[in-house]
Structure 1
Amino acid sequence: MITIDGSYGEGGGQILRTAVALSAITGTPVRIINIRANRLNPGLRPQHLHAILALKELSGARVKGASVGSRELEFHPGKLKGGKVRVPIKTAGSITLVLQALLPAAAFAEREVEFEITGGTDVPWSPPVDYLKNVTLFALDRMGLRAKLEIRRRGHYPKGGGLVVGQVEPWMEKKPLRVEKLGKVIGFEGISHATNLPAHVAERQARAARERLREFYDAPVEIATEVSRSLGPGSGIVVWAETDCLRLGGDALGERGKPAEKVGREAAEELLSQLEKGACVDKFLGDQLIPFLAFTGGEIEVAEVTRHLVTNVWVVEKFFGKVFEVEGEIGKPGKVKVVRRVEI
């Protein structure tokens, strides 16, 4: 059994998600201590618990310590068979954080995995579901991993109620990913959404983002608007750049009293700040790619080496030994190179 200290590095839920996913993939039992020790609310939160339960169902695992607030967990995996997985987060717990654990394991299942997850689609401190769908899955497709995702209903903090469904095919061909310097921005796309709010909120967010991006780039900008109903109000926008390598993204959430124009500008400015670094991988995607990159090999240049990225490297290497070389300081641009590809 591998023991992993959950207080290492950024000390958040990502250690747990990556460790349990790799446990399911390798069939190696794992014990995680000091779970989320560096957070104000230490221990398992609902979205972490449901990620564990999803992987338990997917792999037929035995689990000890799977309860909200638990600071220690043991995960003894069985076989990744595939099939249907339902994850009913009864709060606005992040659907994308659950998928960060589920996607890598599902890719190694014997047959296709179909998932249905309820919870938060657009909530603070986690990637919006549109980013995962249009930026993360785009990069994974380049690596040979086929996954689809559909947003059936939005879910905002604090009520949640979002619904996301999708499929992950068995990962048959693992293609190395080699993307370094960003060459050309081809255009911009995005989705601006408003739930239980007037349509003009989504339209104003989109217009502000479009105008900001056009100040810096002479390229097409296509931002769709979406107006919907769900359990509670909320709004947000995700924009991404189509480039000659991968997609880079930026996002922002609406808040009570925050003008829609400010939300749109924030998303555009976040994306612009990533593009100016000249790397093919934005700071949000970098750490998400680490568990997959271990199995494909390759080299990526990131707009920023984050604590999340360094922590994910550490977790992967607890299972497999030396896999990566990371160049660059935390908070600055850098490179990640696979020096030894993992075979399963």
Structure 2
Amino acid sequence: MMEIDGSYGEGGGQILRTAVALSLITNQPVTVTRIRARRPNPGLRAQHVTAIRTLQSISNAEVDGLSVGSPQVSFHPGVIKGGSYTFDVGTAGSITLVFQTLLLASLAASQPLQLHVKGGTDVKWSPSWDYFANVFLPLVSHIGVKAEVNLKRRGFYPAGGGEAFIPIHPVKECLPFQVEEFQTYRMVEGNVAISKLPDHVSRRIKHVVVKFFLPHSM
């Protein structure tokens, strides 16, 4: 079994998420130790548990050490099966980080997946929903990943309460992808999302953003 030190480099949750997804793709068991060891709240957080539990459910994988706060996880991959699945991260755990893990693992899927995840859509230390939908997904589409997103409700810290659906289609072939040139854009679009706040808050945010971009002729 491969063993990976989860405290290597930045030592964040990305090591864990990538390790278990690649374990599923390559059919090679993996143990991740010292998970987030140097973080103020080391070990597994809710979104990590949900991401791994989701992979476990869609593939009948065997997992040891899967609980919030656990410093070590062993993952014995199974075979991904299609179907519809619903998971709740709990409170404001990141939905987008869960989806990131699943999209990587879906490269090994032979049948479509329908995923419904509840949690936080726009929370600290994770990609916002708009980044995930408008930047990340178009980028990975170049390697063959086919997924649509349906945001039902946003969820913010600390209550969460967000919901999103994502159908994932099997990838027939994983394509190479290389960025060779960058385009220059003169227009920026954005969304201001608020929850249980008066409308003037969103107007103030919009005013500050527009004021920032005006000197750049955008």
Same-fold status (TM-score > 0.5): yes
1:28 matched to 2:28: yes
C-alpha separation between the residues in 1 aligned to 2:122 and 2:148? 18
Deviation of residue 181 (structure 1)? 4.1
1:19 matched to 2:19: yes
C-alpha separation between the residues in 2 aligned to 1:193 and 1:187? 20
* Residue of structure 2 in register with 1:194 after alignment: 194
* Residue of structure 2 in register with 1:146 after alignment: 146
Task: Please list the CA deviations of residues 62-120 of structure 1 after superposition, one character each: whole Å capped at 9, or x if unmatched.
Answer: 11110111111111111012222222112211111111211111232111111111111
Q: CA RMSD in A?
A: 1.4
Contact 2:58–2:82 at 8 Å: present in 1 too? yes
* Residue of structure 1 in register with 2:61 after alignment: 61
Name the amino acid aligned to 1:195.
S
Count of matched residue pairs: 218
Contact 2:63–2:73 at 8 Å: present in 1 too? yes
C-alpha separation between the residues in 2 aligned to 1:23 and 1:141? 22
* Residue of structure 2 in register with 1:175 after alignment: 175
Deviation of residue 176 (structure 1)? 2.5
Name the amino acid aligned to 1:160.
G
Contact 1:92–1:158 at 8 Å: present in 2 too? yes
Task: Please list the CA deviations of residues 255-313 of structure 1 after superposition, one character each: whole Å capped at 9, or x if unmatched.
Answer: xxxxxxxxxxxxxxxxxxxxxxxxxxxxxxxxxxxxxxxxxxxxxxxxxxxxxxxxxxx
Name the amino acid aligned to 1:68.
V
Deviation of residue 141 (structure 1)? 1.8
Alignment of 1:56-205 (within 5 A): 56-205=56-205
Task: Please list the CA deviations of residues 4-39 of structure 1 after superposition, one character each: whole Å capped at 9, or x if unmatched.
Answer: 011111111111100001111111111111111111
Identity %: 47
Task: Please list the CA deviations of residues 182-205 of structure 1 after superposition, one character each: whole Å capped at 9, or x if unmatched.
Answer: 242152221111111112222322
C-alpha separation between the residues in 1 aligned to 2:120 and 2:88? 11
Contact 1:2–1:30 at 8 Å: present in 2 too? yes
Unaligned runs of 5+ in 2: none
C-alpha separation between the residues in 2 aligned to 1:143 and 1:214? 36
1:51 matched to 2:61: no
Contact 2:103–2:145 at 8 Å: present in 1 too? no
Alpha carbons of 1:183 and 1:130: their partners in 2 closer, same or farther (altered >3 Å)? Answer: closer
C-alpha separation between the residues in 2 aligned to 1:106 and 1:191? 29
Q: After TM superposition, where is structure 1 displaced by more than 3 Å over at least 4 residues in a row? A: none
Name the amino acid aligned to 1:62.
E
Contact 1:24–1:77 at 8 Å: present in 2 too? yes
* Residue of structure 2 in register with 1:317 after alignment: none
Per the alignment, in what secondary structure is the counterpart of residue 185 of structure 1?
Answer: coil
Task: Please list the CA deviations of residues 186-245 of structure 1 after superposition, one character each: whole Å capped at 9, or x if unmatched.
Answer: 522211111111122223222322332232134xxxxxxxxxxxxxxxxxxxxxxxxxxx
Contact 2:59–2:80 at 8 Å: present in 1 too? yes
> TM-score normalised to the size of structure 1?
0.61
Alignment of 1:161-310 (within 5 A): 161-218=161-218
Contact 2:107–2:174 at 8 Å: present in 1 too? no
Task: Please list the CA deviations of residues 132-169 of structure 1 after superposition, one character each: whole Å capped at 9, or x if unmatched.
Answer: 00010111122221111121111111111111111111
Name the amino acid aligned to 1:69.
G
C-alpha separation between the residues in 2 aligned to 1:86 and 1:101? 15
